Structure 1
Amino acid sequence: MAEKHCSHVEQIQVVASNTDICRDCVATGDTWPALRMCLICGYVGCCDKSRNQHTRKHYQATGHPLILSLHPREAWVWCYEDRALLDLDSPQFAGRLA
């Protein structure tokens, strides 16, 4: 299967997470199955499988389209705008993510 192209890779600003929790879920006493990080501003929130979907809400509020899975066995980036699931080994990320 051919990999989709993301037209937003140039916007990547943040490549390291500064937390391992969804602060919004913690504030309300909720839990989450997995975390995602915004590659534009570094926001870390819960995934779409969680009841709160804080990362999606962050995208809807800010327009920041790129999220990185923080799950240790996952190596992908999702672009909300292009609806593209991208492998971290993709040439699109060469020199951008370490």
Structure 2
Amino acid sequence: MATEPDPHLSMVRQVTPHTPEGCEECLRLGSPWVHLRLCLTCGHVGCRDSSPLKHGRAHAHVEQHPIVEPMELMEPGETWRWCYAREAMA
């Protein structure tokens, strides 16, 4: 059975990270983060769900920008995207 492509992929743009050094909100607050997610609609950099404040998810819901990818790759050649709206890989 074929899986339908994620309809939110149409929101993906060529973006530049606003704050490549860390989570935008955590940097302002002085809060720690665990791994970073790049919004592929606007370039917002937020922390992932295992971080205390989950700014990546908050941004996705408030701004309606659901598609993110990791800022730091775990393995060479690793690429993936996550859709917060569908709670699935995009």
TM-score normalised to the size of structure 2?
A: 0.80
The equivalent residue for 2:13 is 13
Letter in 2 for 1:61: V
Which consecutive unaligned segments of at least 5 residues does structure 1 have?
87-98
Relative contact order, CA 8 A, sep 6+: which one is greater?
1
CA distance in 1, matches of 2:5, 2:70: 18
Q: How many residues align?
A: 85
Q: Give RMSD over aligned pairs.
A: 1.9
Contact 1:66 1:78 survives alignment (8 Å): yes
C-alpha distance in 2 between matches for 1:68 and 1:57: 15
Q: Which runs of 4+ in 1 moved over 4 A?
A: none
SS across alignment from 2:81: strand
Distance 1:20 1:28 in 2: 14
**2:45 equivalent to 1:44:** yes
